[in-house]
Amino acid sequence: MKRWIVAALLLSVMPHTGHAGENQAAQAGRFFINPMVGGLHMESSSYDPEVNYSVAGGYNYNANLSAEILAGFAQEKSGPDSEVYHAGIGALYHFMPEERLVPYLAVGIGLLAVNEAHDDTDHHSRFDYGVGLKYFLNKDFAVNTEVRHMLASSGEPNNLMYSAGLVYHFGGEARPAPPPTPAPLDRDGDGVLDRLDKCPATPAGIAVDRQGCPLDSDGDGVYDYRDKCPATPTGAPVDRQGCPLDSDGDGVYDYLDKCPGTSQGVAVDLDGCALPQDSDGDGVYDDVDRCPDTAAGAHVDEYGCQLVLTLLLQFDVNKAVIRPEHVKDMAAAAEFINTYPGKKILIAGHTDSDGSADYNQALSQRRAHAVKTYLIENYGIDGTILTAKGFGESRPIADNSSATGKQQNRRVEISLFNE
């Protein structure tokens, strides 16, 4: 018995692939004959058949259902004087008939005859059922193995018949296996069938919703795979790339922009409104700055004007000596410097336009230096914070064509400056 079970297992693991027509589905309308050899195990301890020879024949009504006539003979192991004969009719039902390896159910009724040592033959009615496998070698031949449980009126309910054989199909026209039912179409391969797909041309690999349309997580009308701004707030107008509009090009999206008409190139704050301007970079915005053209690096007051003290000093002709009447002016200069301890101080000398430019340059330098020396010697000002520089006639503050103008231009200016 074990040998036949092993054979059945080997048959069950045969390859499942095959060519068109090599399956049960192609046998509809054909006859078959199936010689088999196996064993018959009977519950009765008084009879032990050795080898069971059987043959079946029948007709395939369709891919699943077949009619069958089955007859068999078995001899007792103890000798040739005792035999068992059985015959019956039945049906086979095939599963997966379109495959090359086909499982089936078998059921039948018939007679069982037992003849022991040439005594009178006992006849019993029988009913059997079981399972089997067919493996198609080609369109006409298949090998099979099966096991059946046989119930007999003799009162022996546990009779077991197991067999393996060769099935030959003949007659009629071998019908090709019916074409497989075409799978529902999903032409864009997004997992949503065409009949349900509202976006049937979705690009490969794009995540879609239940209707087959690409996802639009922020609901702005631009699919996620195209959306360069995937977290746009609900209701914000967007461009073709899914980014909020910035109509005035100031870098602040329209839905955040509180000043949507800002001119091109104007710096703005987070609300899209123009920042206060400081044209001369002195730290005082233009709307407050009373001196909008302050030189770079100059220290200015709250109105943007340079912190400077102008001294209108009178010098003797071609002289650079501080005259006694200017003591108060020098005291004012010392007070101005001490107001900003540690700051760098520029002492700038200026002249009118009389004389040559080179002469005036040298004269203004000597006069600026004279003021520096006076402040150090008389007021103890730290000389390291003082810089004396002459500008000659190059920076007039009045018209040199009049005596009054010339007097204003002959001056010394004391101011703070950046290092």
Task: Characterise 270 by phi-psi region: left (phi > 0), alpha (psi -120 to 50), beta (else).
Answer: alpha
Could you tell me which residues come within 8 angstroms of residue 9 by beta carbon, excluding any fewer than 6 positions away?
A: none
Reduce the DSSP state of residue 128 to 3 states and report it.
Answer: strand
Q: Please write the tens of the pLDDT for every residue from 148-205.
A: 998 888 666 678 899 999 999 999 875 666 677 777 788 888 888 888 888 888 888 8
Across the range 212-235, mean pLDDT stands at 86
Residue 333, CB-side half-sphere exposure with 13 Å CA sphere: 31
Q: Give the confidence band of 418 by pLDDT, cuts at 50, 70, 90.
A: low
Rounded percentage of the chain residues whose pLDDT exceeds 90: 31
What's the pLDDT tens digit per position in 252-296? 888 888 888 888 877 888 888 877 777 777 777 776 778 877 777
**Residue 187: both structure tokens together:** 């032409």
The SS3 of residue 369 is: helix
Whole-number percent of the chain with pLDDT over 70: 88
Query: How far is CA 42 from each of CA 80, 129, 147, 215, 277, rounded to the nearest angstrom?
Result: 17, 15, 14, 69, 111
The residue ranges of every structural domain in the chain are: 2-170, 308-416
Question: Would you say 348 and 392 are in contact if contact means Cβ atoms under 8 Å apart?
Answer: no
Distance CA 339, CA 307 (A): 11
Residue 398 backbone class (left: φ over 0; alpha: ψ -120 to 50; beta: rest): beta
| CATH architecture assigned to 2-170 | Beta Barrel (2.40)
The architecture that CATH gives domain 308-416 is 2-Layer Sandwich (3.30)
Q: What's the mean pLDDT when you consider all of the chain?
A: 83
Interval 374-417: pLDDT, tens: 989 999 999 899 999 999 999 898 999 998 888 888 888 888 87
